[in-house]
C-alpha cells in the first residue's frame, strides 16, 4: 500500500491543498477515491531541504552547546585539610572553583597567605581547633581541624655546641663535708740522694704517702774547698 495525491482539482476538491492531501491505495488500484480520474500520482516529493538531517544536526548542536556550557560553568569550590605531624604543617587542598587565584587564611594562626601550607606552632599542635578559609573571588569556603600531634618534650639541658638538642649528662655532685687534704713531711725521712738533691716522704691527713724531691738543697751540697 502506497500514498498518492490527486492532481485534478475538478475531481478532487483538495487537489490545491498545500501540502497536497495524501490517501492510501491498495497496490494495483489506480483510481482516486470519489472520482473517476486516474489523474493521480504517488506521493513522492522532489528533494528539498533535508529536514530530518537538519533536525538531527540541530539536536547534536544543542547537545554540544550544552556540553560546552557545562564545561565552562565553574564547579562549586570545595576544601579539605590534612595535617602532617612530622613536618608540623597543615595542607589545604582545593576541589573545583573557577581557576582564579585563591587566598588562604586561618584566624587561629593569625595568617593570610597565597600558600596553602600552614606551619603549626608548638603550642597549637595538640587539642586545638583550627579553622582554614579559602577565598576565590566572591566565593569562600572553610574547613576545621582539631590538631592531634604530640607536643615537643622540653630538653633537660643544652648539648655540646652545634647540637643544642642533645642533653648533657649531669655533672657529678661534690660530696658534702668532704675533708680537705693536708700533706705533712714525715719527720726523719730526709736523705740526700745526690749532690744538692734531697728526697723525703710526705703523708696526708687521710693516711696516704708520697715521695718528694728538692733540688739545690744546701745541706746535700758538698762543702766548698
Tens digit of each residue's pLDDT (9 = 90 or more) over 32-74: 665 556 677 777 765 555 655 666 667 777 777 666 665 566 6
Higher-scoring residue by pLDDT: 182, 20 = 182
Average pLDDT score, the chain: 78
Of 158 and 182, the structure prediction assigns the larger pLDDT to: 182
Considering only residues 130 and 54, tell me which one the structure prediction assigns the higher pLDDT: 130
C-alpha cell at 87: 613536618
**CB distance 108 to 130 below 8 Å:** yes
Q: Determine the Cα angle at 120 with ends 116 and 121, to 5°.
A: 150
DSSP secondary structure of 83-120: EETTTTEEEEEEEEE-SS--EEEETTTTEEES-SEEEP
Most confident range (mean pLDDT) of 55-64, 107-116, 206-215 is 107-116
pLDDT above 70: percentage of residues in the chain: 68
Q: How much is the pLDDT for 225? A: 45
- Strand order of the sheet with strand 23-25? 23-25, 2-6, 40-42
Q: For the chain, which domains are there?
A: 76-148 (2.60.40.2700), 183-220 (no CATH)
161 pLDDT more than 60: no
Grid cell listed for 169: 649528662
The two counts, helices (H) then strands (E), for the chain are 1, 14
Segment 104-118 shows an average pLDDT of 93
Asked whether the predicted pLDDT for residue 221 surpasses 50, the reply is yes
Q: What is the pLDDT of residue 178?
A: 59
Amino acid at each position: 500500500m502506497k500514498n498518492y495525491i490527486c492532481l485534478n482539482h475538478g475531481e478532487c476538491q483538495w487537489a490545491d491543498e498545500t501540502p497536497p492531501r495524501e490517501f492510501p491505495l491498495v497496490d494495483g488500484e489506480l483510481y482516486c477515491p470519489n472520482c473517476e480520474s486516474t489523474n493521480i500520482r504517488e506521493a513522492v516529493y522532489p528533494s528539498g531541504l533535508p529536514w530530518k538531517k537538519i533536525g538531527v544536526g540541530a539536536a547534536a548542536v544543542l547537545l554540544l552547546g550544552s556540553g560546552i556550557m557545562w564545561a565552562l560553568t565553574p564547579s562549586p569550590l570545595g576544601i579539605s585539610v590534612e595535617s602532617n605531624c612530622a613536618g608540623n604543617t597543615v595542607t589545604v587542598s582545593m576541589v573545583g572553583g573557577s581557576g582564579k587565584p585563591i587566598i588562604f587564611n586561618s584566624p587561629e594562626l593569625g595568617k593570610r597567605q597565597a600558600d596553602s601550607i600552614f606551619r603549626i606552632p608548638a603550642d597549637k599542635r595538640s587539642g586545638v581547633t583550627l579553622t582554614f578559609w579559602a577565598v576565590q573571588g566572591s566565593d569562600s569556603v572553610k574547613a576545621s581541624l582539631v590538631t592531634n600531634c604530640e607536643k615537643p618534650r622540653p630538653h633537660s639541658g643544652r648539648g655540646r655546641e652545634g647540637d643544642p638538642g642533645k642533653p648533657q649528662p649531669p655533672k657529678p655532685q661534690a660530696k658534702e663535708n668532704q675533708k680537705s687534704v693536708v700533706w705533712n713531711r714525715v719527720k726523719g725521712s730526709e736523705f740526700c740522694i745526690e749532690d744538692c738533691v734531697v728526697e723525703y716522704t710526705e703523708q696526708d691527713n687521710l693516711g696516704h704517702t708520697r715521695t718528694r724531691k728538692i733540688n739545690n738543697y744546701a745541706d746535700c751540697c758538698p762543702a766548698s774547698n
